[in-house]
Amino acid sequence: EPSPTPSPSLAKKNKNSQSSTLPLKSQDSPVQMEGLLHRKHEWEGHSKKASNSWHNVYCVICHQEMSFYKDSKAAAQGAAYHNQPPLNLKDASCDIASDYKKKKHVFKLVADGNEYLFQAKDEDEMSSWIQVILNAAAPELTDTQSSHPSTPVSGRAQTLPATITLTTESSPGKKEKRFSLFSK
């Protein structure tokens, strides 16, 4: 099956130009990426298979949410695709759908207990979407975490034993090094 039509650029474009989806470079807008993708809803929740087939949707990633619209005009008006609420990307996972063989340039997004397949027009566009989604899914650092870079984000202590000793034992004709975390 053919790839989707080229996605509109995030930058303002001429009516005659056609370009691929690109991350937004402007600091004025909270939108990180937007563009047209084919979408297939695979799973609703952990055990319910969705019955949807492939649909063209205009996707917008803003902060830690991904919203879906019929097209860029509907996105500008805020009219969500089939009244779907935005998808929370916090702690979402996204990767190339290497097990999906029916279409090229397909990636999988698992978020909010749902699983989606998306098809981009080419490999570069697919990589861009995956990177932006993963960046949006990563927990944001708070002021205290960013001012103390040695503090682990997980909140768990990451310490080593107080002493590490290196002991060497030799046997005839063989040298062997053993590392011990505890002193004898």
pLDDT attached to residue 50: 58
Q: Is the pLDDT of residue 94 over 90?
A: yes
pLDDT attached to residue 125: 96
pLDDT attached to residue 53: 86
Least confident of 67-81, 93-107, 159-173: 159-173
Q: Tell the burial category of 163 from Cβ atoms under 10 Å away from its Cβ (0-12, 13-18, 19+).
A: exposed
Q: Is the pLDDT of residue 72 over 80?
A: yes
pLDDT in tens, 107-149: 999 998 889 999 999 999 999 999 999 999 987 654 444 444 4
CA-to-CA distance for 72 and 7, rounded, in angstroms?
10
Q: At 85, is the pLDDT very low, low, confident or very high (cuts 50, 70, 90)?
A: very high
The arithmetic mean of pLDDT across residues 82-106, rounded, is: 93
Q: At 14, is the pLDDT very low, low, confident or very high (cuts 50, 70, 90)?
A: very low
pLDDT attached to residue 152: 46
pLDDT in tens, 42-53: 866 555 565 668
Instruction: Select the more confidently predicted residue: 100 or 13.
Output: 100
Q: Is the pLDDT of residue 2 over 60?
A: no
Q: Which of 107, 80, 87, 105 is nearest to 96 (CA)?
A: 107
Token reading at 19: 């370009």
Give me the chain's average pLDDT, please: 73
Domains of the chain: 31-140 (2.30.29.30)
